[in-house]
Amino acid sequence: MKLYISTTSPYARKCRVLLREKGLTARIEEVETHPFDSTADFIDTNPLGKVPAMTREGATPLIDSPLICEFIDTLSEPRWIPKSGPARWRVLRFQALADGLIDLTVARRIEVTKPDCEPSKFWVERQESGISRALDLLESESDKFGGAVDLGAVAIAVALGYLDFRYPESEWRQGREGLQALFDRWAERASFQETAPPAS
Ligand SMILES: N[C@@H](CCC(=O)N[C@@H](CS)C(=O)NCC(=O)O)C(=O)O
């Protein structure tokens, strides 16, 4: 099996952290790709041209990081996504919030780095407000993921790492001790260190 990744993609990083934590790096080969290169193998795997994307022997390819993580999680125990009950929805909701935080941060960066064009104040303010509200909500619920080792906690830590990488002016740590504690805890793990984005 192959996992198409880029080293700067936070969505791919979520899958890569999970692969390492679940001891599956020998079963799934990471193939570094630049989504804009659109090689035939990559586009056959994901016609949308986005990473991460995954090939599987004798089965359909998988795209979209939540789906890929769900599949990876079935390959070894213990599960990082609870199979049922309220814990499952808690973990998947935290992943959705974290992915949404990444979506807004990516959109903001595209807006502020557009060549030959002033960023739209309306969109940048809208994206920054959404980022700030999502961070405040996660901080207010940080007792729920506290010391958790599951996909929700991974997704939040990856989103915070992406803010450091692409939007350090957000100063997300200010007044958010719960999120800072979560991030510091993950920053110590080999899975997190090995998948850190390159220095920008
Ligand atoms: N919802 C997707 C988002 C994937 C995504 O947007 N990946 C970015 C890299 S961070 C990408 O490949 N962008 C290339 C493009 O949009 O053309 C996921 O969770 O996997």
- Looking at the structure, tell me whether residues 166 and 99 fall in a common domain: yes
pTM: 0.97
Q: Is the CB of 52 under 6 A from ligand 1?
A: yes
C-beta of 165 in contact with ligand 1 (< 6 A): no
- CA 143 to ligand 1 centroid distance, Å: 30
97 and 127 in a single domain? The answer is yes
What's the 11 CA to ligand 1 centre distance in angstroms? Answer: 7
The pLDDT score that the predictor gives to residue 200 is: 66
Last residue of a domain, one of 74, 95, 122: 74
Ligand 1 in reach of 162 Cβ (< 6 A): no
When divided into structural domains, the chain yields a total of: 2
Distances (CA, A) of 51 to 61, 71, 86, 96, 115: 12, 16, 30, 17, 23
| Nearest-angstrom CA–CA distance, 66 and 29 | 18
Say if residue 132 is in the same domain as residue 166. Answer: yes
Q: Which residues span the domain enclosing 166? A: 86-189
Final residue before a domain boundary, out of 74, 102, 127: 74
**What pLDDT, on the 0 to 100 scale, is given for residue 105?**
98
- 97 and 61 within one domain: no
For ligand 1, the distance from its centroid to the CA atom of residue 32, given in whole angstroms, is 14
Q: Does 81 reside within a domain?
A: no
- C-beta 70 within 6 A of ligand 1: no
pLDDT score for 199:
84
The residue whose two tokens read 């995954």 is 54
Distance of alpha carbon 10 from alpha carbon 99, whole angstroms: 9
User: What is the residue with the minimal CA distance to atom 12 of ligand 1?
Assistant: 50
Among residues 74, 98, 121, which one ends one of the domains?
A: 74
Whether the CB of 35 sits within 6 Å of ligand 1: yes
* pLDDT averaged over 10-residue windows placed end to end, the chain, 200 residues: 97 98 97 89 95 97 98 97 96 98 98 93 98 98 87 98 97 97 97 93
Distance between CA atoms of residues 13 and 144, nearest Å: 23
CATH number for the domain spanning 15: value is: 3.40.30.10
The full 3-state SS of 25-51, as one line of letters, equals CCCCEEEECCHHHCCHHHHHHCCCCCC
Classify residue 103: in a domain, yes or no. Answer: yes
Q: What are phi and psi of 162, to 5 degrees?
A: -70, -35
Assigned token pair, 9? 């993609």
b/e per residue 105-143 (b: at least 16 CB within 10 A): bbbbeebbeeeeeeeeeeeeeebbebbeebbeebbebbe
